[in-house]
Amino acid sequence: MLRIAGITPFTTIDWPGKLACVAFLAGCPWKCPYCQNHELQHMDAATQGEAELFSFLAQRQGLLDGVVFSGGEPLLQEGVIDAARRARQMGFAVGLHTCGAYPQRLGKMLPFLDWVGLDVKAPWSDYDTITGVAGSGEQAQRSLRLLLDAGVSLETRTTWHPDLLTQDQMAKIAHDLAECGVRTWAVQAYRHVGTTGILANETVYPSDVPEDLSPLFEHYEFRRA
């Protein structure tokens, strides 16, 4: 049984290059201070279930390329794996937004995934300072390894608030990713709107990204989160 907080019927930005709908699953084990979906961190944010999602998808067959499972952290709910399988059977491509907190479940979902957007929140050893959870960097690193080994289409993205990550930490992230074989990295500037307001209303600009980082990737993008 999936617990879904909302469905965006049509988007061109949540899965670059695809026309997709997005199912926002309730619940997340981490507590990032810049979270723009913080109300989805709790299971009681759910208002819909699997029946609503698949009834919606049945009406969109042939009209949408795919469905993105987002959140919250979709893999908190193991049922997302079977939902991905069902969506694939209906002819939809399947995308996933994940923070990488559940590498084992991610491994089970891989056969049904066409594209993944993986958050990379900090250098692996500094993760706890952002997520508030010990060991989170190891989980995310294992998830990245699985995705790279599987060869699934992958975008890594890092949200940057100047009080949370220094330029040196951004450089460390970029070099670590490039050395692992990551080809796509997006820097997402912190946006205050939609957060709990716990962070200062400050942001970063494209010129803040050290010049030698973007050439490390085949695809690099600076975007407003």
The residue from 15, 73, 83, 120 that contacts ligand SF4 (CB under 6 A) is: 73
Burial class of residue 125 (count of CB atoms within 10 Å of its CB; 0-12, 13-18, 19+): exposed
32 contacts ligand SF4 (rule: CB under 6 A): yes
Which x/- pattern, by CB under 6 A, does the window 84-103 give for ligand SF4? ---------------x----
DSSP category for residue 174: H
How far the first Cα of the chain sits from its last, in Å, is 30
The residue from 4, 22, 37, 122 that contacts ligand SF4 (CB under 6 A) is: 37
One-letter amino acid of 208: D
Distance between CA 3 and CA 69 in Å, rounded?
A: 12
Shortest separation between residue 154's beta carbon and ligand SF4, angstroms: 17
30 contacts ligand SF4 (rule: CB under 6 A): yes
CB contact at 8 A, 22 and 14: yes
Closest CA to 7 of 19, 30, 25, 27: 25
158 contacts ligand SF4 (rule: CB under 6 A): no
123 contacts ligand SF4 (rule: CB under 6 A): no
155 contacts ligand SF4 (rule: CB under 6 A): no
31 contacts ligand SF4 (rule: CB under 6 A): yes
Shortest separation between residue 73's beta carbon and ligand SF4, angstroms: 5
The residue from 71, 74, 117, 123 that contacts ligand SF4 (CB under 6 A) is: 71
156 contacts ligand SF4 (rule: CB under 6 A): no
User: Which H helix or E strand runs over 184?
Assistant: strand 184-189
Shortest separation between residue 206's beta carbon and ligand SF4, angstroms: 22
Helices (H), the chain: 50-60, 79-89, 103-109, 128-131, 136-150, 167-180
| Interacting residue ranges for ligand SF4, rule: CB under 6 A | 28, 30-32, 35, 37, 41, 71-73, 99
